[in-house]
C-alpha cells in the first residue's frame, strides 16, 4: 500500500521521513553542535538527569524546541553527569506554527497526572516513528500535535495569555526600535525582574531572544519578498549595525543574508519548475 503523507506538495518538499524519534540516556561526553541547524523542528523532553540547550538548563519535565535552521547546541549538564531525554525531529504542517513559537517550556505548573500523560504520549511517538510505515508515522505526527496542544493548554491555564498576546503584539509592532528589558518593563508598568519572570513563563525564552528571533524572521521575509539591500533590511528590522546583523543572521540560518537570499530563491524556482 502507498505511504500516506499529508499532501503532494509536502512530499515534494520532504521526500523522506516526516518524523524520527528516540529515547536517549547519555553521559557527560554527549554534546551536539550543528551551526546551521536542520530543516526540521527538533523537540526534546527531559525525563531524568539534566541537559543544557542554548545556555538553558533542562530539568525533568521540561521541553526544548529548536526551529528549522536554528543553531543546535545541546549537551548533558556536566554538573549532573547524566541526561535522560526523549527527542523527535519532525516537519511541521503550517497549521502547527502557532503552537511552535517558543524554545523552552516547563511542565512544572501542570498536574502530575498530566505530566505523566505527556511523557507517555512522547514514548508513543518513539514507538510509532521507529517502524518507517506511513500509517505509523501519521500516528506519530498526530501524537506530537496532541503534545503541543496539551502544552498550549497548560500555558493558557497559567492565566498569562492576555499578557502574552499584548506583549507579543507590542514587540512585533516595534521591531525597528531599540527594545531593552528596562524599556519593555516600563511600557507595561512592571519592574525589569518581574517583567522578565512573567515573559519567560509566557514565552519560554528571554525577551531579548524573542525579539531577535522575530527580527530574523522579518529579515527572511524582506530578503525574499523585496529588493532591499542587506543594509536596508538590517535597519528596518532593528539592527543598527549591518555587520552585527549578518553575524546574527548567519548564526540562525547558517548562511550570510545575501547568500541565504540567493540559495532560497534558487530552491524556490526549482520547486516551481518541478
Statement to judge: residues 129 and 237 lie in one domain: no
Statement to judge: residues 34 and 123 lie in one domain: yes
Predicted confidence band of residue 109 (pLDDT cuts 50, 70, 90): confident
Statement to judge: residues 100 and 86 lie in one domain: yes
Q: Is residue 239 part of a domain?
A: yes
Statement to judge: residues 242 and 258 lie in one domain: yes
Of 157, 178, 204, the residue that ends a domain is: 157
Rg value, the chain, Cα: 20
Query: For residue range 151-186, what is the model confidence (pLDDT) as tens digits?
Result: 988 877 765 566 777 888 888 888 888 889 999 998
Query: For residue range 258-272, what is the model confidence (pLDDT) as tens digits?
Result: 888 887 666 545 443
Q: Is the pTM of this model over 0.75?
A: no
Single out the residue of 254, 179, 176, 180 nearest to residue 219, CA to CA: 176
Q: Is residue 1 part of a domain?
A: no
Statement to judge: residues 21 and 123 lie in one domain: yes
Statement to judge: residues 80 and 123 lie in one domain: yes
Residue 134: the pLDDT is 65
Length in residues, the chain: 274
Residue 16: the pLDDT is 42
Statement to judge: residues 179 and 254 lie in one domain: yes
Edge-to-edge strand list for the sheet holding 51-53: 31-34, 72-76, 51-53, 56-58
CATH number at residue 71: 2.60.120.280
Of 157, 174, 206, the residue that ends a domain is: 157
Q: Is residue 211 part of a domain?
A: yes
Residue 273: the pLDDT is 41
Statement to judge: residues 138 and 169 lie in one domain: no
Residue 55 scores a pLDDT above 80: no
Grid coordinates of 203? 514565552
Statement to judge: residues 137 and 238 lie in one domain: no
| Residues 19 and 5: beta-carbon distance below 8 Å | no
Structural domain of 165: 161-273
Q: Is residue 129 part of a domain?
A: yes
Of 134, 157, 180, the residue that ends a domain is: 157
Statement to judge: residues 173 and 107 lie in one domain: no
Statement to judge: residues 132 and 191 lie in one domain: no
Residue 110: the pLDDT is 87
Query: For residue range 115-149, what is the model confidence (pLDDT) as tens digits?
Result: 999 999 999 999 998 766 668 888 999 999 999 99
CATH number at residue 247: 1.10.10.60
Number of domains within the chain: 2
Q: Is residue 118 part of a domain?
A: yes
Q: Is residue 3 part of a domain?
A: no
Statement to judge: residues 114 and 205 lie in one domain: no
Residue 250 scores a pLDDT above 70: yes
**What average pLDDT does the chain have?**
83
Amino acid at each position: 500500500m502507498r505511504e500516506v503523507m499529508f499532501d503532494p506538495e509536502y512530499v515534494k518538499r520532504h521526500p523522506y521521513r516526516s518524523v524520527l524519534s528516540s529515547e536517549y540516556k547519555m553521559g557527560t561526553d554527549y554534546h551536539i553542535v550543528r551551526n546551521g541547524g536542520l530543516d526540521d523542528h527538533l523537540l526534546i523532553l527531559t525525563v531524568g538527569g539534566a541537559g543544557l540547550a542554548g545556555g538553558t538548563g533542562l530539568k525533568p519535565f521540561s521541553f526544548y524546541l529548536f526551529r528549522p535552521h536554528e543553531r543546535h547546541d545541546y549537551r548533558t549538564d556536566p554538573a549532573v553527569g547524566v541526561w535522560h531525554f526523549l527527542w523527535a525531529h519532525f516537519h511541521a504542517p503550517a497549521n502547527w506554527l502557532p503552537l511552535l513559537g517558543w524554545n523552552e517550556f516547563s511542565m512544572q505548573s501542570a498536574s502530575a497526572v498530566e505530566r505523566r500523560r505527556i511523557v507517555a504520549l512522547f514514548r508513543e511517538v518513539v514507538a510509532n516513528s521507529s517502524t518507517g510505515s506511513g500509517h505509523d508515522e501519521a500516528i506519530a505526527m498526530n501524537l506530537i500535535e496532541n503534545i503541543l496542544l496539551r502544552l498550549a493548554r497548560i500555558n493558557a491555564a497559567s492565566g498569562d495569555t492576555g499578557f502574552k498576546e499584548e506583549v507579543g503584539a507590542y514587540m512585533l509592532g516595534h521591531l525597528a526600535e531599540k527594545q531593552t528589558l528596562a524599556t519593555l518593563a516600563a511600557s507595561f508598568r512592571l519592574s525589569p525582574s518581574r517583567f522578565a519572570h512573567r515573559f519567560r513563563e509566557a514565552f519560554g525564552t528571554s525577551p531579548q531572544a524573542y525579539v531577535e528571533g522575530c527580527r530574523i524572521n522579518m529579515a527572511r521575509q524582506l530578503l525574499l519578498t523585496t529588493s532591499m539591500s542587506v543594509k536596508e533590511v538590517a535597519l528596518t528590522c532593528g539592527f543598527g549595525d549591518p555587520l552585527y546583523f549578518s553575524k546574527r543572521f548567519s548564526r540562525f540560518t547558517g548562511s550570510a543574508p545575501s547568500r541565504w537570499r540567493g540559495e532560497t530563491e534558487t530552491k524556490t524556482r526549482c520547486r516551481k519548475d518541478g
